[in-house]
Amino acid sequence: MIPPQEASVRRREIEDKLKQEEETLSFIRDSLEKSDQLTKNMVSILSSFESRLMKLENSIIPVHKQTENLQRLQENVEKTLSCLDHVISYYHVASDTEKIIREGPTGRLEEYLGCMAKIQKAVEYFQDNNPDSPELNRVKFLFERGKESLESEFRSLMTRHSKVVSPVLILDLISGEDEMEAQDDITLEHLSESVLHDVIRISRWLVEYGRNQDFMNVYYQIRSSQLDRSIKGLKEHFRKSTSSSGVPYSPAIPNKRKDTPTKKPVKRPGTIRKAQNLLKQYSQHGLDGKKGGSNLIPLEGRDDMLDMEIDAYIHCVSAFVKLAQSEYQLLTDIIPEHHQKKTFDSLIQDALDGLMMEGENIVSVARKAIIRHDYSAVLTVFPILRHLKQTKPEFDQVLQGTAASTKNKLPGLITSMETTGAKALEDFADNIKNDPDKEYNMPKDGTVHELTSNAILFLQQLLDFQETAGAMLASQVLGDTYNIPLDPRETSSSATSYNSEFSKRLLSTYICKVLGNLQLNLLSKSKVYEDPALRAIFLHNNYNYILKSLENWLKVTDYISEKNLPVFQPGVKLRDKERQMIKERFKGFNDGLEELCKIQKAWAIPDTEQRDKIRQAQKTIVKENYGAFLHSIEIKLPGDSLSKIQPSTPFYFF
């Protein structure tokens, strides 16, 4: 049992704690009441705000929608106005551009093309939107008139600025590669840069917008005429310069006197002039000790003209290649790619046909001469044929992409020349064999017969054109005629294409055949003489003439003659160019000596004494000239220079 004192204390504690709790509860109750009041106030405020927002939204949204509609209407109005301005501008195109179109594009091409672009857009608009509009006919008329003006401007530019290439420039162009000295590249500027720009702009517009290809015909006709006239001008230049001075001059390069040729004449051994000079030489210094053999009459009067024609034709062929290359380069800038080959084919036809026709005329003249047994005329074919073959690779490259008929023109002319030449060679050999023994045609004093001089002279020309003459024979598959075995390796895929070695053997055999026929004919002719002594004199004179002529065939010494040496200071180190020139002299001598040995091994001289004399004479000439050449070089070169330049020489010949 709890004591009363403790119970009283316990009760007071409980009462105090209860009082505190009651106070806390009263505070909480007051706080809740305040909170409720605040909540009510906040709800009232929010409700009022929401009400106001709703009122504001109800008043703003219609205004916003109305504003959007107004903005859309404004944009539509602006677009409509812009479209109207655009459409109206098409109606003004004709009046705005008519004056410029009427005046033409000369001097203001870019402005003119800008007007044409506006007119073209107007035509497209009216065709799509208002095809019945009278404005369509008007802008169409302006477009066609403008297109015609552009075509006319194209023709005018090409006509006014396309100039014939001067002969002197052509000569420099085709002979520049032959010069050892380094020179600036010679280029042809057919059109100035500004004119070329305008021509290109017009051509592209006509192709893209004008739907017109007629300008391509205009282009090739104008350029074809200039190409043809340039080549004809070169030929006329040869005619005039040869008639006045004998050498076509080329004063195109500046800083040189106008009366000095800038290029050396092309060296062509075996020309008609050379044949006539040889004939004159034998005529003036008769081998029988008399001056002027009675039967050795030089064929004067036509040699200069014939040489001029040969030179002119050869240069015209080279000129055609160079000019055609230049024309193609120009054409690629102006003519669309898929039309370039066809346009180029048409462009070169007149000039090419002229060259081919002239070549066929030469062949025709040669054929007629062969019928008359005038074989000197066929000599004109040799230098031309050789040049055509040398030029053929460039020809083929230039004519790539042209029609087959165009590509085949040069091969056809080459074949024609080879056929004619082979026919002449065969007829000549037969004529030597079958020349009749006419008593009235025999020299009374037993001097050299005309047949001998003509035969030797003709063979002299063949040696100058060994590859060409051999190819003529090989082209007709004449190996069986001379009983020469044919190695399959000596032919290409074509049955008539032989290598040079076989051609040389064929020519060597042919020369032996001619000399054999000549010997038999001379023996037959000698029987015309009743006096045996005169008969022997006749044979001696003719055989001696042949002997002396064979000695003159030794041309390897030309490479080691003093005149062919470069000019340099003794003891001064050689430049690369000078060293190369001396090396070329040695090489030319060695190659010529080797070739001469191969050729002469196939020749036959029945008389042992005469054969030994010829051999010894040739050895002496070569030794003396070679020794003099070495001595001349040794005294001019530094000590160790000769050993570095001189190649091994085939002294087995000696």
> For 586-600, what is the HEC assignment?
HHHHHHHHHHHHHHH
Give the residue with greater pLDDT, 161 vs 624.
161
Among the listed residues 194, 196, 179, the one whose alpha carbon sits nearest the alpha carbon of residue 253 = 179
Q: Are 418 and 378 in contact (CB under 8 A)?
A: no
Q: For 451, how many CA atoms within 13 A lie in the half-sphere containing its CB? A: 29
178: tokens are 């032959």
The rounded distance, in Å, linking the Cα atoms of 478 and 465 is: 18
130-171: per-residue pLDDT in tens?
888 888 899 899 999 999 999 999 999 999 999 899 998 998
Beta bridge partners of 491: 498
The rounded distance, in Å, linking the Cα atoms of 261 and 245 is: 11
Give the residue with greater pLDDT, 173 vs 219.
219
Among the listed residues 161, 167, 171, 221, the one whose alpha carbon sits nearest the alpha carbon of residue 351 = 221
351-405: per-residue pLDDT in tens?
999 999 999 999 998 899 888 888 877 888 889 999 999 999 999 999 998 999 9
The phi and psi torsions of 513 (rounded to 5 degrees) equal -65, -45
Residue 219's CB is within 10 A of a number of other CB atoms, namely 24
Rg over alpha carbons for the chain, rounded to the nearest Å, is 50
DSSP 210: S
* Long-range CB pairs of 273-281, under 8 A, 24+ apart, other chains included: 273/303, 273/304, 273/306, 273/307, 274/464, 275/303, 275/376, 275/379, 275/457, 275/460, 275/461, 276/300, 276/303, 278/457, 278/460, 279/453, 279/457
The rounded distance, in Å, linking the Cα atoms of 354 and 426 is: 30
Look at 41-55, 312-326, 619-633 and tell me which has the smallest mean pLDDT. 619-633
Q: Are 391 and 399 in contact (CB under 8 A)?
A: no
Q: What is the mean pLDDT of the chain?
A: 78
Residue 492 pLDDT: 44
Confidence of residue 255 (pLDDT cuts 50, 70, 90): very low
Question: What SS3 class is residue 105?
Answer: coil
The rounded distance, in Å, linking the Cα atoms of 459 and 451 is: 12
Q: Indicate the residue type of 58.
A: N
Residue 299 pLDDT: 38
Q: Is the pLDDT of residue 474 over 90?
A: no
The rounded distance, in Å, linking the Cα atoms of 226 and 23 is: 129
Residue 491 pLDDT: 43
